[in-house]
Structures are given as structure tokens and as C-alpha cells.
Amino acid sequence: MGERLNKCISALIRPPTVVIGYLADGVYSLLFARAEQRRARTREEQLAQGIRSNLPFLFSDYNAEIIPNGEDITFPPPFDYAVVTVALSGLLVRFLRGRGELAVQLALRDAPKEWHELSLVLNVIDVPEEVKRGATYSLPDAARFLKTYLRQIQEAFSDRYPAVRQRLDEVYSRDRLIIRQWETEINRRLYS
């Protein structure tokens, strides 16, 4: 009886809730979307300026250029995020900043949907410095890592990429296994 009542209530409440959601989305778009897009463009330009000033060697030594973000990035990005993509020969570098954090990701120019975090790539290609995963906390950190290791990264993303990709996949598989183990443990504790 209780399950049947829940289905009836759900059937009565769902249609007006969906309509209210569509109306709220339309009102938001009408009133706030342009302002949010302007703020997002300002944040992106500020990040691009920070990249130009903190990583000038990308543009002078490697002929880098800032390009439009790929289709996998929604605009405007949620919250206070800003995303800037820089193209080098054969390599894309994506900078994501928001909520007080900076992430730097790398992808082959020919595979612009396969992004890998900079510190993970540095660990996989065995650079001499021990780089903690997720260790890019600021643009000066990113500048230091990229200035020191960009040639090795480019080499890893060209001739050696199949072997590097295999090592990255092994790390991702291990991460998925650990996440599943944690999920199992959490579910066991919650539902036992």
C-alpha cells in the first residue's frame, strides 16, 4: 500500500515540478545568463593574462598560442571556474582555475579529448624530481614544472606516447580499483 501511495504522489507532483523547473531555467537565462557569460569571459581573460605573464617561455620559445576551448568544456563553466587552452606543436595544455585551485592538463593535439593531469604525466615519464600528484597549485608552480620538463613531456607525447598511454591506463585502472574498494567499504558500513 505504501509503495502504491508513493507512486501516486510522485505522479501528481512530478509534472508541475518539471514545468516550474523549465520556467525557472528560462527566467534565469533571460535575467542572468548574459551577466554570467561576461563574468566568465573576464575570468578566462584574467587566467590567460596570468598564463602570459607567468609562462612567457611557452609563447617565445615554443610558439604557443591560446586557442578556443574544446567542445568538452561548457560555457560558461560552473561556479567561478575559468578554462584556457594553450596549443604547442603536437601538444595541448589546459589550465583550469576555480574555487582556489589550479589544475593543468595535457593532451595530444590529435586526441583533444584525452586529457591527463600534469603531475601524473610527470610521474609516469619518470622525471628526476618527485612530483606529488595534483601538485600544481599555482601558475608559478606550473611554470616551474613546464619550463623544466616540457621537452620530456613533448617527447613522451610524440614517439613514446603508446607506452606512456599504457602506463597512464595502468594508473587509471588502479585508481578505479581503489575507488571501488572504498565504495564497497562505505556501503558495507552504511548498510550493515
Say what the pLDDT of residue 170 is.
92
**Per-residue confidence (pLDDT) for residue 160, from 0 to 100:** 86
Supply the pLDDT for residue 15: 80
Any idea where the domains of the chain sit in the sequence?
43-191
- Among residues 103, 110, 89, which one has the least CA distance to residue 162? 110
CA angle 15-17-18, nearest 5°? 65
Q: Please say whether the beta carbons of 65 and 86 come within 8 A.
A: yes
**Residue 112: strand, helix, or coil:** coil
Q: What are phi and psi of 50, to 5 degrees?
A: -60, -40
For the chain, 192 residues long, give each residue's pLDDT as a single digit of tens.
578 877 777 777 888 787 777 777 777 667 677 888 888 899 999 999 999 999 999 999 999 999 988 778 878 888 889 999 999 988 999 999 988 889 999 999 888 889 999 989 998 887 777 777 776 678 998 999 999 999 999 999 988 888 989 998 998 899 899 999 999 999 888 887
Distance CA 97, CA 105 (A): 11
Calculate ∠ Cα 49-53-59, nearest 5°. 95
Calpha distance 131→139 (Å, rounded): 16
Q: So what's the pLDDT on residue 62?
A: 93
Residue 89, pLDDT score: 87
